[in-house]
Structures are given as structure tokens and as C-alpha cells.
Amino acid sequence: MKIIFSEKCLEYSWPGHIERPERVRKALELLRGQYEFLEPKPASQEDLLRVHTREYVDLIKNAEAGSYLDGDTPVPENIYEYACLSAGAAFLAAKEKGFSFMRPPGHHAGIDGRALGVATLGFCYFNNIAIAARKMDLPTLILDIDGHHGNGTQEIFQGDPDVTFISLHRYPTYPGTGLSSQGNCLNFPLSYSAGDSLYLETLQKALGQVEMNNIEVVGVSAGFDAHQGDLASLSLTSEGYREIGRLVGALGKPVFGVLEGGYVGENVGRDVHELIQGIEEKQ
């Protein structure tokens, strides 16, 4: 797999905020030299409008630098440009069957930003994986392995016959959604002590509910905050992420990945590597 990355995503930060450049910078030390890197281009406004309302896109575009969109989500200078670049990287990952290693993340951003009644954006601006999937316009399975429920992605694709959404996530924790499955959106809440064994058993069960003959591509919302000791820990290990990759690779479909959460940089680098290696072992 190729890594989609731009140094520009290291340019912005917010004092004291957990979604900071270091979580990517430290991981890069483990990934450089092992993978080919590709430079992304920003998503266009047309790309954004495939998923989000014009009012919401304009809100991000015109947000005052130094303010907050909500209590979790600040407005660093030029955040619209960084968010567009992250969305564009997700599409390049889908096109190249690579892995977008960009920030900001996106899976909490719904159609008009907030999703499924949740009042905060969870560090997200545009829903990167949703923008990529809509632009690819293929029957898609989106597997969200972030420790938090991908409430924005569910809202966007709820009832869409061309997208199946699976989320394994910790409960109780933010955003408090995803307690049950709804149609094409399959949710599997787990406790913080789940560990590799229960997680992988649950993932096998989830994938077994998908008619893969109807799927042409698999997109992974790859959050690594389910790693033991991270923000939404499900007590996973790096070895667990390799096994997740093997299960995904064994589906026999083209796969791409998009970075979501994961805030301990050294772990994130190892986990990305293990996930990719697991996928490639089975493809």
C-alpha cells in the first residue's frame, strides 16, 4: 500500500489540544522508508457538496481563526484548506488503494456537520471517507475501527443501498451513539476491556453479515485510539491490528484506509504498519 501524505498537515495545531501534529509526526518515523509516499491534492467544493450542505461548507470556509466551532473543535488558521487537503487525500487513497495518513480526521462530521443529534464535531471538519466513497461512486463497505462510533458516516449513508457501514466502538464513551444496528449501518458497541480476542470475534461476526458479492471496494476508517491506553481504548494491541488487516484482506476486495483517531504517535505508527501488513498478507 502507498501512503498518502502531505507535510502541510503538520503545520497547524491548537495549544493543549490532543489532536496535534505530534501524533502523526512520531508515527512517520516508523513509516518512512517502508512505504512509497504520494502527495495529495485538495478536495474541490464540488467534492465536499457530495456529502455536506453548502451552508456547512461555508461555515468551515468562513470560520474565524482563533474561535471554536464547539467545545471540542477549534478553528486554527487556514483550517478550511487543511480539511480540504485531508478530504482530497482520502479520495487519492481510494483511487490508489492506499492509506491516507492525514489530519484532520472526519468520521464525526455529518451532513451539516453534527450528526445523529450529537452536539460536537469531535475534532472533525469534513467527512473524509464519505467524500472519497461518494466520489468513487461504487458499492462500498466502510469499516470503522476507530474507538469512537462513526456517527457522521452513519448519518451520511443511512439507507444508502450502495454503502454498508460497520462500526466497532467503545461504549459508553463519546459520542454515545451506535448502540444498535439500523438497516445498512451495523453497529457493535464493546467495553473498554474487550481485548484482541473479543474484538476479532466480533469483527468476524460483523463481516459475516455483509453480502460481499455486492461490494466492489472496502474503505477502512482507521482510527487507532482503540489501542490499549489510548483515548477510546478497547485494549487492542498492535498484533490485534495485524489480525484486523488479515480479516479485511481476506474479503478479496480492493481496500483503502483513511486515518481517524489515535493519539499516541509511537503506537499509531506501529498499528498502521501492522494493519497494512495484515491486509497485504491476504490480498
Q: Which residues are catalytic?
A: 108
SS3 161: coil
Per the CB < 8 A criterion, the answer to whether 3 and 98 are in contact is yes
Measured CA to CA, the distance from residue 181 to residue 166 in angstroms comes to 9
Q: Name the nearest CA neighbour of 130 among 276, 224, 2, 258.
A: 258
Q: Name the nearest CA neighbour of 91 among 47, 150, 45.
A: 47
Q: Name the nearest CA neighbour of 23 among 272, 271, 266, 276.
A: 266
Measured CA to CA, the distance from residue 48 to residue 66 in angstroms comes to 23
DSSP state letters, 56-76: HHHHHHHPPTT-BSSSS-B--
Q: Name the nearest CA neighbour of 108 among 123, 93, 94.
A: 123
SS3 255: strand
